Amino acid sequence: MRRLPFALLILVAAALAAVILVASRATAPGSTLSPAAGASPPVLAHARGVRVVRRFRAAGGLRGYVLQVGAARSIAFGLDHGRYLLLGRLLDTSGHDLTKRYAARYLLAGGVWHALAKATWIVRGPRHPRAVVYAFVDPNCSYCHVFWTEAHALYARGLQVRYLLVAVIRPSSVNKAAWVFAGKNRLARLRFQEQEYGRLGSPRVAHPDAAELAALKRNTRIMIALGLNGTPGFVYRVHGRGPVRFLDGLPALQDLAPLFLPLSG
């Protein structure tokens, strides 16, 4: 799995240290607090450029915050009436990442599946699928390339993959992804680029236009909001129809089918 550069993560983290918490018990995504709850916790009293846009009740008696730094938003948790602030993954006793669930509920308008459906993606697989998976990929990601070349068995079993190009690994990722977006047949361009993966002179755009850059930024913003910190990153429904789940990195392909596809058939 290729992880995001620190410089990109820090925009979302707002220079706050990431901390992993373990909740004492599983809790459903929290409810939003009263409209007056947008006030900043005391710990942010002297933090410049950071503001609270929403508060919500989180697991384990924590108070959740949606923080905004410029155009980027992230989830944080307050302790001791806001005197301490934690930014990172909140896990329950079953290992579920509650931070990602809160992000799906509070950072993306209309919910995660709705936001992904409106994003800029390139589809591969059957037209009438048994299940759909969204995959965040970078043109310079070797593990993304492995998934691209070895996923044929999943397509044959009815899985449709919607590829969301992001540019998070190297500066050339922007130019390579923009080349794909610039074509009328984006799937054909993505297929050609994958065939040329690792070769010198891989096709790219020298000066991406505003529309291509906007699509890349939008996809990257969604990826970060969902808490996916590397490529490939997958968003799927359990067995094709259950609750939305997230997966960082690329496990063995034989382990993906039981997650992504319905149990029967």
Q: Are residues 192 and 129 in the same domain?
A: yes
| DSSP β-bridge partners for residue 234 | 135, 247
| Sequence-distant contacts of 180-185: CB under 8 A, at least 24 apart | 180/122, 180/139, 181/120, 181/208, 181/211, 181/212, 181/215, 181/216, 182/208, 182/209, 182/212
**pLDDT for the residue numbered 190:** 95
**pLDDT for the residue numbered 199:** 82
For 165, the token pair is: 């190009």
Q: Are residues 88 and 126 in the same domain?
A: no
Instruction: Provide the domain count of the chain.
Output: 2
Model-level pTM?
0.69
Q: How many residues does the chain have?
A: 265
Last residue within a domain, chosen from 40, 74, 107: 107
**pLDDT for the residue numbered 113:** 83
Last residue within a domain, chosen from 107, 136, 166: 107
State the pairing for strand pair 122-124/159-165.
antiparallel
**pLDDT for the residue numbered 144:** 95
Q: Is residue 125 part of a domain?
A: yes
Structural domain harbouring 27: 2-107
For 143, the token pair is: 């593990």
Last residue within a domain, chosen from 107, 129, 156: 107
Q: Is residue 206 part of a domain?
A: yes
**pLDDT for the residue numbered 167:** 92
**pLDDT for the residue numbered 20:** 30
CATH number of the domain at 51, please. Answer: 3.10.450.70
Q: Is residue 32 part of a domain?
A: yes
Residues ≥6 apart with Cβ < 8 Å to 97: 89, 90, 91, 227, 246
CATH number of the domain at 126, please. Answer: 3.40.30.10
pLDDT in tens, the chain (265 residues): 655 543 343 333 433 333 333 333 333 445 555 434 456 788 888 788 888 888 999 998 899 998 877 656 788 999 888 889 998 889 999 888 898 888 877 876 667 788 888 889 999 999 999 999 999 999 999 999 999 998 988 999 999 999 999 999 999 999 999 999 998 999 999 999 999 898 877 788 888 899 999 999 989 888 887 778 789 999 988 777 777 888 888 888 788 888 888 876 5
Q: Are residues 76 and 173 in the same domain?
A: no
